[in-house]
Structure 1
Amino acid sequence: MTDKVHLRTPVKTYDNGGWVDVELIITDSDLVIGKKSISLKEIEDLEDIDIEGVSCIKIKKDGKFIIKLPLNLHQQVFKYIAFNLKADKFAVFFLSSATVGGVVSSGAQWEKGYFSVTDEGFWFLSAKNQKRIPIENLGSVKTDLRDVGGKQRKVLVLSHVEKSNVVTSLVLCPESTLEMLEGYLQRLFEKHKPAIKLSDNEMEILTLIYSGLDFASIENIAGMSTDELNSYYDRLVDSGLAKVVKIRKEIELTPHGVSMVDKISKR
């Protein structure tokens, strides 16, 4: 039996630094990009990215494929692949971005959909939204009691980083599924988190960077020499908690670093 063709459209693929015109065909089970056929159930992950100011879709399967679609088809194709890629998918209710930076989001609403987990990220999938959170942006996983519809319900609380803010999202599902998801995500989190134990000085520096202070200000507040602070910066960068953004060792925190500050602030 031949698969039903859902879409056939010209697209561009990004190859060796340039764009190539090809045809994209989407069927029940496959994507055909030019001469390359990819089984939907073998796609490992999916991501919305920007290349040279152009919105594109990055498909991970034995490497990566980057495609640029006509604007009116981009979201439709992204949604179809997100719902059908290789992932463990669970029917849930979720509240995405319930809090942002510790402040309750006024517009956040519970949605019925799926919680989907790949090797590199997890997804909140609904008819309206398909949101991917990289595992490296995950700060903590726990269960807690929250008021849902006037009743105290056990939910999965996920702390993650978005645009340098600590965001909290909630997942509601049967308790047996909840416990399995918590264990699953904890194992992924442990696998990806940096192996580093911070000293008191490093925790102070991490917190000062998060507050937006530059190198010279931190040098004065921490009472350190330039070489001493540089050595701490090197360690934070090497451990994956920060990245260099200026030649003079100005650094900003990675999602792991922001998550660490969130934990430090709760002590």
Structure 2
Amino acid sequence: MTEKVHLRASIKTYDGGWVDVELVVTDNNLVIGKRNIPLKEIEDLEEVEVEGISCVQIKKEDKVILRFPPNLHQQVFKFIAFNLKADKFAVFFLESATVGGVVSSSARWEKGYFSVTDEGFWFLSSKNQKRIPIENLGSVKTDLRNVGGKQRKVLVLSHVEKSSVVTSLVFCPESTLEMLEGYLQRLFEKHKPAITLSEDEMQILTLIYSGLDFASIENIVGMSTDELNTYYDRLVDSGLAKVVKIRKEIELTPYGVSMVDKISKR
């Protein structure tokens, strides 16, 4: 039986430079020029910027960058997000219920899907296709929350967005909830950095999170430049921070922000 064609359009792909190709989207495949990619073999999907231009990057063994006409970008992104290779569960979700510890007044429960790939998880609804990388996940737990006027067991996900700790909630049958908790815990443990911080390192991590630069931290903790550099190297090597300036200025990665969130609750 011939597959239904949902879309046929001229787009660009990036391979050291932009190349014009035809895209054909069917029920089961993306045909990009001469390359046929089954949707169920797409391992992940994300929006990226290339040369300041908003693009879609799909992963199937290698990564393929696609640039759509603006009027097609969201349509194709949504279609792939709903159909890529992932474990997908019917749920109700409250995405970004709190941001930086403050309840979000605009957050609303949505009916949709919670989708999990090897590198991230998704909140999917007709209006919302939100991907959170596993490296941004801070914690996974179940808790009782008010849902529809009743106290119900939900999955509480702490994750990092733009250097803020965000909490999202997932509600579904309890058996599915427990399975999701275990599934995400295993993914989280697989990806998180293995490091035990000293008191000095926890203090330095917290000061970086507060926005202080190298010289200010050096004065506050009373360390020499070489000694503080050694601590910075350890934070970078462990995946808790990344270098943003040649003079070893660093900013925290999502793991680092999550660590500060845990330290502040001690």
Give the TM interval when normalised to the shorter protein. Answer: over 0.9
Any idea what SS the aligned residue of 1:184 has?
helix
Aligned residue pairs, count: 266
1:148 Cα deviation (Å)?
1.1
1:70 Cα deviation (Å)?
0.7
Give runs of aligned pairs for residues 132-171 of structure 1, distance below 5 A: 132-171=131-170
TM-score (norm 2): 0.99
Give runs of aligned pairs for residues 1-267 of structure 1, distance below 5 A: 1-15=1-15, 17-267=16-266
Any idea what SS the aligned residue of 1:183 has?
helix
1:235 Cα deviation (Å)?
0.3
* C-alpha RMSD of the superposition: 0.4
Following TM superposition, the consecutive aligned residue runs of length 4 or more in structure 1 with deviations greater than 6 angstroms are none
1:197 Cα deviation (Å)?
0.5
Determine the C-alpha separation between the residues in 1 that align with 2:42 and 2:242: 30
Determine the C-alpha separation between the residues in 2 that align with 1:149 and 1:41: 35
Gaps of 5+ in 1: none
Give, as a single letter, the amino acid of the residue that structure 2 aligns with 1:189: F
Determine the C-alpha separation between the residues in 1 that align with 2:165 and 2:151: 24
Determine the C-alpha separation between the residues in 1 that align with 2:43 and 2:189: 20
TM-score (norm 1): 0.99
Note the alpha carbon deviations across 1:161-214, whole angstroms, 9 max, x for none: 000000000000000000000000000000000010000000000000000001
Give, as a single letter, the amino acid of the residue that structure 2 aligns with 1:14: Y
Note the alpha carbon deviations across 1:217-260, whole angstroms, 9 max, x for none: 11111111111100000000000000011111110000000000
Determine the C-alpha separation between the residues in 2 that align with 1:62 and 1:207: 38
Determine the C-alpha separation between the residues in 1 that align with 2:77 and 2:102: 30
Note the alpha carbon deviations across 1:23-46, whole angstroms, 9 max, x for none: 000000000000000000110000
The percent identity for this pair of structures is: 85
